[in-house]
Amino acid sequence: MNPSLASLICVCGVAGLFYLDRDSSVDTSNALWLPIIYLSIIGSRPLSVWLGVSPPSGSNVQLDGSPLDAAVFGLLLAASLVVLIRRRQRVRGFLTSNLPILIYFFYCLVSVAWAYYPGIAFKRWIKAIGDLAMVLIIVTDGHPVAALRRLISWLGFLLLPISVLFIKYYGYLGRGYTPDGEQMNTGVTTNKNSLGLIVFVISLVALWNVRSLITHKDEPNRGRRLLAQGSLLAFCLALFGMADCATCISCFILGGGLILLTGLHVIRSRPGRIHVLCLAIFLVGGMTLLFAGDAGVTHALGRKSNLSGRTEIWAAVIPAVPNSMVGAGFEAFW
């Protein structure tokens, strides 16, 4: 198929998914677009990469970052703070009941004092505040559960079809190479594991939505919304194969299994059984490691028992360890 025609079909398909999934029965805030834009950038590539904007000459991208990206995140953070100030009562209630979050961010702020690059650490702390601000926008919405469902679904409608388009028809955008020179599918991201991660998160919510729509037959506009969420789940399954991320696939199997099992009447009637189910999964995993079954699981996922070349990374790192760090116990460990 011609790439231009494929692009047109993709755009129409994305618009169609948004149209099918519309639901006027739940009114979420328009501020939800702030975390959607924020996560669209975080879950794909920096805006400077999309626009092909080069960093200023003489600057270190790893340390200084991109001025364009900093400006965009600054605007999103400022807009989110305006929203949160208007919702200050709900924000105060949430933060008061979740003090460990504030303690963690306070500790991160204090740790700037002993960082190698305090200025850069402080800028990254401010960026991390953006993560918290976006979460607060979701949880302080009038319908937080519906806002979360809508947020992840809309992210999936945007990112996943475009990922398939890039992989199939724009290889220079949707494919890359591993350090070993093997080709990998990256979609809208820059790494196959990053692609697998966003597909994993979106797939769990899509499965959750599909199960909810199948179970609750009185949901408004159930038929077309089920078609939209089913299509999104199909995109997720297809991209799992394209990304070839074994960790995300195994996590989806576990997470998806829990979502389906907790929907059974025998589990719903006794919520305590969910804890038993999680404990059973934990014990099975522990027993597998105890009886050296991890190699079989690794091979079943299509990976080598030597962690798919990660041992070569250690082989390169160990000789570079300073001699001052190598004592008798350290040598024995290695």
Question: Residue 321's pLDDT is what?
Answer: 43
Question: Residue 135's pLDDT is what?
Answer: 93
Cα Rg of the chain, angstroms: 23
Q: Tell me if 108 sits within 8 A of 125, measured CB to CB.
A: yes
Q: Which backbone phi and psi does 61 adopt, to 5 degrees?
A: -65, -40
| Count of positions (residues) in the chain | 334
Please tell me the distance from the alpha carbon of residue 10 to that of residue 16, in angstroms, as a whole number: 10
Is residue 293 classed as helix, strand or coil in its secondary structure? Answer: coil
> Which of 126, 136, 52, 49 is CA-nearest to residue 88?
136
Q: Which of 57-61, 111-115, 320-324 has the lowest mean pLDDT?
A: 320-324
The CA distances from residue 216 to 18, 166, 209, 210, 323, in Å, are: 21, 36, 10, 10, 64
Tokens of 323: 């001699």
Cβ neighbourhood burial of 23 (10 Å; 0-12, 13-18, 19+): middle
pLDDT digits (tens, 9 = 90+) for 183-226: 888 889 888 888 889 999 999 999 999 998 888 888 888 889 99
**This prediction's pTM:** 0.80
Question: Residue 328's pLDDT is what?
Answer: 36
Is residue 58 classed as helix, strand or coil in its secondary structure? Answer: coil
Q: Tell me if 155 sits within 8 A of 144, measured CB to CB.
A: no
Q: Percent of the chain beyond pLDDT 70? A: 82
State yes or no: pLDDT of 327 exceeds 60: no
Question: Residue 79's pLDDT is what?
Answer: 94
State yes or no: pLDDT of 319 exceeds 50: no
Q: Which of 132-136, 171-175, 257-261, 274-278 has the lowest mean pLDDT?
A: 274-278
Please tell me the distance from the alpha carbon of residue 170 to that of residue 184, in angstroms, as a whole number: 13
Please tell me the distance from the alpha carbon of residue 143 to that of residue 290, in angstroms, as a whole number: 45
Please tell me the distance from the alpha carbon of residue 303 to that of residue 290, in angstroms, as a whole number: 20
DSSP character at residue 114: G
State yes or no: pLDDT of 175 exceeds 60: yes
Cβ neighbourhood burial of 277 (10 Å; 0-12, 13-18, 19+): middle
Average pLDDT of span 93-117: 90
Question: Residue 33's pLDDT is what?
Answer: 92
Query: Confidence class of residue 330 from pLDDT cuts 50, 70 and 90?
Result: very low
Residue indicated by tokens 């340390």: 63
Question: Residue 29's pLDDT is what?
Answer: 87
DSSP character at residue 56: P
